[in-house]
């Protein structure tokens, strides 16, 4: 897998406010971004897990921690699909 390194400049105070070191912050930021993009239906579970740097099963557990459903279809969409609309 080819990778690209991305660099961010952040105020040092962010790390103390979040009670994380820079490495922990990066891990949490990748997970938060992946969860949000998944929630917005911009990426699949598999791609979100890859962005988060987690196996898919662990990503599903993280979704629960963030209160995000692992299902990208809402109830109305499921009913419409079953009804053949």
Of 81, 30, 15, 68, which is closest to residue 60 (Cα–Cα)?
Answer: 68
pLDDT of 81 higher than 80: no
pLDDT of 76 higher than 70: yes
Q: Which two tokens stand for residue 47?
A: 């791609």
Its pTM stands at 0.80
Residue with tokens 């998944």: 38
C-alpha 31/C-alpha 22 separation (Å) is 14
pLDDT of 58 higher than 70: yes
Average pLDDT, the chain: 90
Tell me 11's DSSP state: -
pLDDT value at residue 85: 62
C-alpha 23/C-alpha 40 separation (Å) is 26
pLDDT value at residue 72: 81
pLDDT of 33 higher than 90: yes
């Amino acid at each position: 897998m080819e990778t690209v390194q991305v660099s961010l400049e952040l105020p040092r105070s962010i790390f103390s406010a979040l009670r994380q070191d820079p490495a922990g912050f990066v891990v949490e930021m990748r997970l938060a971004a992946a969860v949000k993009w998944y929630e917005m239906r911009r990426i699949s579970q598999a791609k979100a897990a890859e962005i988060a740097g987690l196996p898919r099963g662990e990503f599903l557990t993280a979704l629960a921690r963030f209160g995000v459903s692992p299902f990208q279809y809402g109830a109305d969409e499921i009913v419409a699909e079953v009804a053949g609309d």
